[in-house]
Amino acid sequence: MSDDASTEDLLSFGVRVQSARDVSQLRWLLAHADALVVRMTAARMTTRLAPRPQQVIAELGLERRRRPREGLAPAPVHARMGAHARQREHGWYSR
C-alpha cells in the first residue's frame, strides 16, 4: 500500500488531519482503539469542524505518554466540548 493510499484511508475516520503530526497521532489512536469507536467518537464530537486526533484521544481517555501522569483526573465533559457546542447546549447561540 502506498503512502497516498494510506493517507486517504486515514481521512475516512472523520478526524481532521492537517499535518504530519496529526497523521502520526491518528495512526497511534487506531493502534490503541477500535476503528468504529474512533469514527463514532469523532462523529459525536463534530460541531463545525471535525475534531483533531488529539481531541479524540482525550475524549476516549487515552494518554499518549510513556509514563502516564500521576493523579490526573479526566476533564469534565463541558471542558472537553468546544465553545460552539457549549453555547448551543446552553442556548446562547445567535441566529
Cell 497521532 appears where? Answer: 25
What pLDDT is recorded for position 3?
46
Alpha carbon distance 71, 46 (integer Å): 29
CA 26 to chain centre: 8
Task: DSSP for 51-67, please give it.
Answer: PPHHHHHHHTT----SS
pLDDT digits (tens, 9 = 90+) for 12-54: 888 999 998 999 999 999 888 888 999 999 999 988 889 999 9
